[in-house]
Structure 1
Amino acid sequence: MVARTLALFIVAALCEIGGAWLVWQGVREHRGLLWVGAGVVALGLYGFAATLQTDGDFGRILAAYGGIFVAGSIAWGMVADGYRPDRFDVAGAAVCLAGMAIIMFAPRGG
């Protein structure tokens, strides 16, 4: 279950972050509507990826995914744009990932 959850979060992050990056490139970097359209499709696929999680609590899934989104956004910026995170970026991302782990994997009674 942990591997499936993390894999789906990674797929969701690639779709959401990648889609937002494509829209950014299409609009801000003047690459055109094809880039924007591809971004819109990827953002739509993100919505489907979240629904495949085994946990049925929408709020929990989206809250936990936020940690993946934060860390994934920093990683995407490093790979795609040459962004160099500082120690506070790294620490913040680590806190977000810890929060994701607590939300998704903490033992719950009843």
Structure 2
Amino acid sequence: MLVYAGAAVAEIAGCFSFWAWLRLDKSVLWIIPGMASLSLFAYLLTFVDTAAAGRAYAAYGGVYIVASILWLWLVENSKPDRWDVTGAIICLVGAAVILLPTRA
């Protein structure tokens, strides 16, 4: 889960750098650390203990959604509502269903 959490923070920060540049009128230089962050995101996902990349990415999706809701709250100072929280929990349960079972 630590790998997924690190990957989520790296991906959200990388994507946010483009958002800041294009939507918040920040300098184009914001994309330099953003690209590094997106590279770190991709690198971190290679450490997920599963034989199939697609399964690692699918399970990561639930973690990404939870991390995005936390980003909304902690970085953008917009408190999640009950629908945000409920959706995030559903997605995290879905990620666990994908990743945790033992496969034959």
Q: Is the 8 A contact 1:12 1:46 kept in 2?
A: yes
Please say if 1:40 is aligned against 2:40.
Answer: no
How far off its partner does 1:106 sit? 1.8
Cα distance in 2 for residues equivalent to 1:103 and 1:17: 22
Runs of 4+ with deviation above 6 angstroms: none
Aligned to 1:76: 71
**TM-score with structure 1 length normalisation?**
0.89
Please say if 1:67 is aligned against 2:44.
Answer: no
Aligned match of 1:58 in 44, 53, 70?
Answer: 53
Aligned to 2:80: 85
Cα distance in 1 for residues equivalent to 2:49 and 2:89: 24
How far off its partner does 1:107 sit? 3.1
Count of equivalent residues: 104
Q: Alignment identity in percent?
A: 35
Counterpart AA for 1:38: P
Counterpart AA for 1:56: A
The 5 Å alignment of 1:9-48 reads 9-48=4-43
What's the C-alpha RMSD, in Å, of the aligned pairs? 1.0
**TM-score with structure 2 length normalisation?**
0.94
Cα distance in 2 for residues equivalent to 1:82 and 1:34: 24
Counterpart AA for 1:78: W
Counterpart AA for 1:76: W
Unpaired stretches in structure 2, ≥5 consecutive residues: none
1:66-109 deviation per Cα after TM superposition (whole angstroms, max 9, x unaligned):
0001110010011111111111111000000001111111233x
